[in-house]
Structure 1
Amino acid sequence: MRWVTFDCFGTLVDWRHGLRTSAELIAPGRGERLLEAYNRHEHAVQAESPALRYRHVLAETLRRACAEERIELGGDDATVLAATIPYWPVFPEVGAELLAVRAAGWNLALLTNCDRDLIAETLRRLPVPFDAVVTAEDVRDYKPSLAHFTTFRRAHEPAAWVHVAQSYFHDLVPAHRLGLRRIWINRLGERAPDGGVVQRELPDLRGLLTAVESA
């Protein structure tokens, strides 16, 4: 069995757009600043409570981001990210590229720092079905822990395995530790802190099949 595994948010779904526009609902004009503040706090929340459901990670991280930005939350404002995540947009090239990989005989899986119910809603928006999904709720931990990867490996014993992701920290580093073939979808034009972790790099998913098969 040949498998390509993906991170979902940031790789297939426009996580930054979704979070920024959702934050605008509670703090108009402050979405970009809240997005950057959110990024500074999320990993700490996950590391403090690895078994915490992702919807609660979203809420707690948003609370900390708002506190940093001196934005007062009211009522159930902190739940806005979990409420809107099923509607965050899929990147436009994703459908055609996933179809090409599937047509070439590869199985597709998601390894996601998300809850089962939230990713189920997101899967309805993805234009290609996935053959397997491993969530943070399943493994009670968050990447960059190895739990998603080792759980997937035990369940499917892939003969060939390529991991594709946007997050260097959450995905490429653990995939490198396990010796997996890996492709960095560098949508933000970032500079890799350690070039040895990156094997193949693309600015988006266009040309994915060629990159997968050469990996």
Structure 2
Amino acid sequence: MSVLTFDCYGTLLNSDIIYEYIEKVAKEHGVDGQHARDIFTMYEDRLMYGEPYQDYDQILKQILEYCDFELKTDFFKGEYDNLIAIHFNFKLHPDVLPALKKLKEQGHQIYLMSNTMHRFMDKHSEQFDGVVDGVFLAEDMHCYKPDLNFFKQVQAKLAFTNDNHVHIAKGYWWDIVPATKLGWSKIWINRDQKQGFEQEAPYLELPDLTDLVTLIKK
């Protein structure tokens, strides 16, 4: 039996729809969609990691204000409620639940580590069909991954070692890099077929969770 910690957004839940929506709204107003998406993600990172901790729903309001600021528009801030609704409607990637159920059947403990709030995770948890043993959220940790404090708090609470733990994540900078710094065993779910770096080796790599059960057995 192992303790398995998972990144959630991107790895398990498909969060691309939030960025696709930003592109769509921009294009409907005659604004370059990719440029708007880039600004949204830039300020998402700046406000998460460059400022004292705030809950994500408050950050989201500021991101939209900065989108209007950068693009000289006045419509993004009016999309707040729509983006909140989209967050509630993130869906699991189709490969996720079958893999998690098999891992659970084998006796593994499954925990989520996510840059989100209970407001959203309480809704998302309904999709996991009871296979998740616990969640660690930015709202509780008062910091966002890749802050090492997030990871250290989780390890202290679960008391695992590399002999009985693996961290599984799509996020490279958010998860694989800090896991490397702490010496965690890790599996990169490389859904976007990107190229990793030698300095984060060794890590195992999969395109999705389909073969995760077999890899964990090994």
Q: What is the TM-score with the length of structure 1 in the denominator?
A: 0.87
State which drifts further: 11-20 or 65-74. Answer: 65-74
Amino-acid identity (%): 26
State which drifts further: 177-186 or 191-200. Answer: 191-200
The answer to whether the 8 A contact 1:111-1:134 is kept is yes
Are 1:21 and 2:21 an aligned pair? yes
The answer to whether the 8 A contact 1:51-1:140 is kept is yes
Q: Structure 1: where are the runs of 5+ without partners?
A: none
Q: Which amino acid aligns with 1:2?
A: S
Shift of residue 22 of structure 1?
Answer: 6.2
Of residues 33, 41, 44, the one that matches 1:42 is 44
Which residue in the other structure is 2:142 paired with? 140
The answer to whether the 8 A contact 1:183-1:198 is kept is no
CA distance in structure 2 between the partners assigned to 1:208 and 1:75 by the alignment:
40
Shift of residue 33 of structure 1?
Answer: 4.5
CA distance in structure 2 between the partners assigned to 1:132 and 1:50 by the alignment:
26
Are 1:209 and 2:209 an aligned pair? no
Q: Which amino acid aligns with 1:55?
A: D
Query: Per the alignment, do residues 74 and 112 of structure 1 end up closer, same or farther by CA in structure 2, a change over 3 Å counting?
Result: closer
The answer to whether the 8 A contact 2:117-2:137 is kept is yes
State which drifts further: 36-45 or 95-104. Answer: 36-45
Are 1:165 and 2:169 an aligned pair? yes
CA distance in structure 2 between the partners assigned to 1:68 and 1:125 by the alignment:
37
Q: Secondary structure at the match of 1:189?
A: coil
Q: Which amino acid aligns with 2:5?
A: T
Q: Which amino acid aligns with 1:156?
A: L
Q: Secondary structure at the match of 2:165?
A: strand
Q: Which amino acid aligns with 1:135?
A: L
Query: Per the alignment, do residues 35 and 213 of structure 1 end up closer, same or farther by CA in structure 2, a change over 3 Å counting?
Result: farther
Q: Structure 2: where are the runs of 5+ without partners?
A: none
Q: Which amino acid aligns with 2:101?
A: L
Query: Per the alignment, do residues 209 and 62 of structure 1 end up closer, same or farther by CA in structure 2, a change over 3 Å counting?
Result: farther
Which residue in the other structure is 2:190 paired with? 186
Are 1:129 and 2:131 an aligned pair? yes
CA distance in structure 2 between the partners assigned to 1:39 and 1:190 by the alignment:
18
The answer to whether the 8 A contact 1:59-1:81 is kept is no
Q: What is the TM-score with the length of structure 2 in the denominator?
A: 0.86
Shift of residue 167 of structure 1?
Answer: 0.7
CA distance in structure 2 between the partners assigned to 1:186 and 1:99 by the alignment:
21
The root-mean-square deviation of aligned C-alpha atoms, in Å, is 2.3
Which residue in the other structure is 1:112 paired with? 114
Query: Per the alignment, do residues 94 and 66 of structure 1 end up closer, same or farther by CA in structure 2, a change over 3 Å counting?
Result: farther
The answer to whether the 8 A contact 2:3-2:108 is kept is yes
1:50-69, aligned counterparts within 5 Å?
Answer: 50-69=52-71
Give the total of aligned pairs: 214
The answer to whether the 8 A contact 1:164-1:184 is kept is yes
Are 1:93 and 2:82 an aligned pair? no
Larger Rg: 2
CA distance in structure 2 between the partners assigned to 1:161 and 1:106 by the alignment:
10
The answer to whether the 8 A contact 1:172-1:198 is kept is no
CA distance in structure 2 between the partners assigned to 1:127 and 1:32 by the alignment:
36
State which drifts further: 193-202 or 51-60. Answer: 193-202
Which residue in the other structure is 2:4 paired with? 4
Q: Deviations over 1:3-43 (max 9, x none)?
A: 11111111001111243236636764866543333222211
